[in-house]
């Protein structure tokens, strides 16, 4: 809702929409944000609600509420995506010497046009992509800038210009006529196609003299009054973002987008390229590599230990075979139940626990077979081996079963978690339960069968060197413990007490932070900061980072609100993504990322006019999605008096700042936006015969401009905007 103040947005748009959503089925809560020119309402449903069902409910309510909103306000729903939906970003850039067909250099407006009408339509057709977001550059517009003095001289007004434009920019179809054995469609094209067509539109005929648009106004190509901008490495650019459809595979969709962008580059004008700057595939590949290394190292470690302690190669191989088979069982269950294989779910798998039951059965079977061989030197028949292995398995079946069940019961309470905790930990618990169930079934079926086939009864089950050394070291410790029970028990009690005291002083967090590899910086400036000033400051920050830190590959930034306002910011607020080079290219590859962030924070905090909050791209987006704020911890103060709430928020901030470990404690800016209010004097207006609407139209045209139709260039569409000349607008603003 362009032009409305935050208070007007709250009263006229946000409040009716937010209250109108009350009573929706499975609704948990709503929250809203009212800023200059935009209202964002977040509607949260219960877990498990189908997203398409929820959107249909919201759409039905929107149809009911539309009539209560100001004219021209059209509420729309965001893309069918999640907080992890921004998976691929690119910039549209022109080479230094690149020129257009007319010989002129490419401008930021030309790059935005290429993004909107060449790149976006093609990328949007990529499977798994639900929307393309764009920020930066200017929308191309056809500007009519009337000269007030020439209008007055001809007895015309701004309304006459608008009326003339609307009446002279349309195509009409008049059906068809039939001729001899033929039929002709009748049409009367009247749309304008270029600047000359607009200039020759008739405004009014005064005493037989036609007054055209060009007689009272200048017609030229212009720029929109934009709400956001983008920068890269300290220079303004056009930034595009792919939103992934909810439920899709981010790695696969990002790879498709990368491939599609390579195809699109071949269709772009010479000298213009779309360069990827952020690809979720990189993070996913690193995560998969971490999981793969963790699982591989864990499996190898368990297998080595089995070889060392079992002392029998075949027994160790049989036990180790449970690991891939149980993982196959787990993967089958995960696919069936649509559980994602991620760092949380697979990283929790403990191969030592998985092979526990198999070790017990293999060890007992080997012992029984060895005893039978010692009693009967003759070779055991298959029937005798089966009987011995069956007896050995049944002997340890019950204790092993109870041991496995006890471990599985530990994970059951995790299944009761809901909300964010449930989404994080329930897949992990289910994955571990599947792995344990598979290992349990295999220990009762596969392991005895494999022992029967592969474990020879001719091999004695003597203790190996590792077992003998371990027993030799353990025997005196055990004897000492049994002879000095009081000392051992009291020492254990003291250790427990010390550990309890230590635990109370340890730092605790929900889950360890995932290192995404890149850095996100949230920038905040005083509310009256203009968009152009924010772009300059944003560029200064980018150049400072690039000049001082060789570890940085690129710095991209966004200021204000993008086309799809999933994160609406005023012009004074923006964010940056600092893309880091691979570690082997750093001057000091062993430098911790935390230390790099501290150094970066120290450098940028010396720049004037900006406050900074450091985070990571996904982490920052999720914090905003979950609670409407970008910080990890937030305190919200509710009430009906803004001044009182601000005072209390400041008191809360001071208290929180005293907590050890609390950093970047700030009160969110909710006041200070300068507004120039034009108070209309109705009595004076009446003397001049003016209506409120007439004056408001003049103010709207003078400052923000008013749409007066479209110009079509093939499939492309550009607005026609009536507004005052830039020099007069500057005088008005001054």
- How far apart CA 432 and CA 447 sit, in angstroms, is 20
Angle at 142 between CA 78 and CA 701, to 5 degrees: 80
Among candidates 353, 342, 356, 355, which has minimal Cα distance to 294? 342
Residue 61: the pLDDT is 92
pLDDT at 458 over 60: no
Residue 313: the pLDDT is 76
Q: Binning pLDDT at 50, 70 and 90, where does residue 731 land?
A: low
Average pLDDT over residues 619-638: 76
3-state secondary structure of 184: strand
Residue 115: the pLDDT is 93
- Is residue 525 within 8 A of residue 609, CB to CB? The reply is yes
In this structure, which long-range contacts are made by residues 311-317, counting pairs with CB atoms below 8 Å and at least 24 apart in sequence? Answer: 311/462, 311/463, 311/464, 311/466, 311/467, 312/366, 312/455, 312/459, 312/461, 314/454, 314/455, 314/456, 314/459, 315/362, 315/363, 315/366, 315/451, 315/455, 317/454
pLDDT at 509 over 80: no
Residue 457: the pLDDT is 52
Among candidates 334, 399, 416, 324, which has minimal Cα distance to 361? 399
Residue 118: the pLDDT is 92
- Is residue 362 within 8 A of residue 457, CB to CB? The reply is no
Average pLDDT over residues 91-114: 90
DSSP bridge partners of 671: none
**DSSP secondary structure string, 459-481?**
S-----HHHHHHHHHHHHHHHHH
pLDDT in tens, 294-331: 778 877 887 787 777 766 777 778 888 888 898 899 88
Average pLDDT over residues 530-537: 87
CA atoms within 13 Å, Cβ hemisphere of 91? 22
Sign of CA dihedral 404, 406, 409, 411: negative
- How far apart CA 117 and CA 636 sit, in angstroms, is 42
Residue 57: the pLDDT is 93
Higher per-residue pLDDT: 127 or 282: 127
For 669-706, b/e burial (b = at least 16 CB within 10 A) is eeeebeeeeeeeeeeeeeeeeeeeeebebbebbbbebb
pLDDT in tens, 671-693: 767 777 888 888 888 888 888 88
Average pLDDT over residues 432-451: 88
Residue 381: the pLDDT is 75
Residue 463: the pLDDT is 64
Sign of CA dihedral 386, 387, 390, 395: negative
- Is residue 631 within 8 A of residue 622, CB to CB? The reply is no
Residue 630: the pLDDT is 65
Neighbours of 552 (CB within 10 A): 21
Average pLDDT over residues 263-274: 92
Q: Binning pLDDT at 50, 70 and 90, where does residue 456 land?
A: low
Phi, psi (deg, nearest 5) at residue 116: -75, -35
- How far apart CA 615 and CA 630 sit, in angstroms, is 9
pLDDT at 627 over 80: no
Mean predicted lDDT score pLDDT of the chain: 85
Average pLDDT over residues 164-187: 81
Average pLDDT over residues 589-618: 86
- Is residue 250 within 8 A of residue 280, CB to CB? The reply is yes
Higher per-residue pLDDT: 118 or 353: 118
* E-state strands within 511-648: 519-524, 552-560, 573-580, 611-615
Residue 510: the pLDDT is 64
Angle at 238 between CA 253 and CA 549, to 5 degrees: 90
Question: Hey, what are 211's tokens?
Answer: 């007054």
Average pLDDT over residues 201-221: 89
Residue 511: the pLDDT is 67
% of the chain exceeding 90 in pLDDT:
19
Residue 727: the pLDDT is 64
Residue 256: the pLDDT is 93
pLDDT in tens, 510-529: 666 777 788 888 888 887 78
Residue 461: the pLDDT is 54
pLDDT in tens, 51-68: 999 999 999 999 989 888
pLDDT in tens, 328-386: 998 898 888 888 777 777 777 877 788 888 888 888 887 787 777 777 666 777 787 78
- How far apart CA 223 and CA 139 sit, in angstroms, is 6
pLDDT at 281 over 70: yes
Report for 37-41, 95-99, 240-244: range of highest mean pLDDT: 240-244
């Amino acid at each position: 809702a362009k032009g409305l103040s935050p208070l007007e947005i709250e009263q006229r748009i946000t409040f009716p929409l937010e209250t109108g959503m009350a009573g929706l089925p499975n609704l948990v809560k709503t929250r809203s944000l009212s800023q200059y020119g935009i209202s964002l309402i977040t509607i949260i449903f219960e877990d498990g609600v189908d997203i398409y069902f929820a959107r249909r409910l919201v759409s039905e309510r929107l149809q009911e509420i539309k009539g209560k909103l100001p004219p021209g306000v059209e509420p729309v729903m965001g893309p069918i995506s999640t907080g992890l939906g921004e998976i691929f970003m690119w910039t549209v850039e022109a080479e230094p010497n690149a020129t257009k067909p007319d010989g002129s250099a490419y401008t930021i407006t030309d790059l935005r046009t290429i993004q909107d009408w060449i790149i976006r339509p093609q990328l949007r057709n990529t499977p798994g992509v639900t929307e393309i977001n764009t920020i930066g550059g200017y929308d191309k517009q056809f500007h009519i800038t009337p000269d007030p003095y020439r209008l007055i001289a001809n007895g015309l007004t701004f309304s006459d210009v608008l009326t003339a434009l609307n009446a002279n920019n349309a195509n009409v179809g008049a059906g068809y006529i039939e001729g001899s054995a033929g039929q002709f469609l009748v049409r009367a094209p009247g749309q304008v196609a270029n600047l000359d067509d607009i200039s020759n539109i008739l405004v009014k005929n005064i005493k037989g003299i036609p007054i055209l648009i060009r007689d009272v106004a200048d017609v030229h190509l212009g720029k929109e009054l934009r709400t956001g901008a983008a920068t890269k490495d300290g220079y303004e650019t056009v930034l595009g973002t792919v939103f992934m459809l909810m439920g899709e595979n981010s790695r696969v969709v990002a790879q498709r987008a990368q491939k599609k962008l390579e195809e699109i580059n071949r269709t772009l004008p010479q000298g213009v390229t779309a360069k990827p700057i952020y690809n979720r595939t990189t993070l996913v590949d690193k995560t998969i590599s971490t999981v793969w290394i963790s699982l591989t190292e864990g499996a190898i470690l368990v297998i080595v230990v089995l070889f060392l302690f079992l002392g029998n190669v075949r027994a160790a191989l049989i036990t180790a075979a449970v690991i891939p088979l149980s993982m196959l069982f787990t993967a089958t269950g995960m696919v069936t139940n649509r559980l994602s294989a991620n760092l949380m779910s697979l990283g929790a798998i403990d191969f030592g626990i998985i092979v526990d039951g198999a070790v017990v059965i293999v060890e007992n079977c080997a012992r029984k077979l060895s005893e039978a061989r010692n009693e009967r030197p003759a070779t055991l028949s298959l029937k005798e081996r089966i009987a011995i292995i069956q007896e050995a398995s049944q002997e340890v079946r019950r204790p092993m079963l109870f041991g496995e069940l006890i471990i599985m019961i530990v994970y059951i309470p995790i299944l009761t978690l809901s909300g964010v905790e449930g989404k994080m930990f329930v897949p992990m618990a289910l994955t571990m339960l599947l792995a344990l169930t598979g290992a349990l079934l295999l220990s009762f079926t596969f392991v005895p069968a494999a022992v029967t086939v592969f474990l020879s009864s001719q091999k004695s089950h003597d203790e190996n060197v590792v077992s003998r050394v371990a027993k030799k070291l353990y025997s005196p410790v055990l004897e000492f413990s049994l002879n000095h029970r009081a000392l051992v028990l009291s020492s254990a009690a003291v250790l427990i007490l010390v550990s309890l005291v230590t635990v109370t002083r340890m730092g605790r967090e929900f889950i360890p932070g995932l290192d995404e590899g890149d850095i996100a910086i949230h920038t905040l400036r005083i509310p009256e900061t203009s968009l152009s000033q924010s772009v300059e400051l944003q560029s200064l920050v980018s150049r400072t980072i690039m000049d001082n830190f060789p570890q940085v590959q690129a710095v991209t930034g966004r200021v204000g609100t993008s086309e799809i306002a999933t994160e609406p910011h005023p012009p004074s607020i923006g964010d940056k993504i600092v893309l880091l080079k691979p570690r082997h290219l750093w001057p000091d590859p062993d430098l911790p990322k935390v230390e790099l962030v501290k150094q970066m924070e120290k450098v940028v905090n010396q720049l004037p006019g900006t406050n900074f909050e450091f985070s990571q791209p996904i982490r920052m987006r999720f914090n905003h999605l979950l609670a409407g704020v970008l910080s990890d911890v937030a305190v919200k103060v509710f009430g009906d008096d803004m001044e009182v709430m601000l005072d209390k928020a400041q008191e809360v901030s001071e208290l929180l700042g005293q907590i050890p470990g609390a950093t970047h404690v700030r009160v969110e800016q909710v006041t200070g936006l300068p507004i120039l209010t034009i108070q209309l004097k109705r009595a004076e207006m009446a003397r001049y015969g003016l209506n409120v609407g007439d004056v408001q139209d003049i103010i709207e045209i003078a400052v923000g401009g008013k749409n007066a139709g479209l110009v079509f260039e093939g499939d492309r569409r550009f607005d026609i905007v009536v507004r005052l000349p830039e020099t007069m607008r500057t005088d008005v603003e001054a």
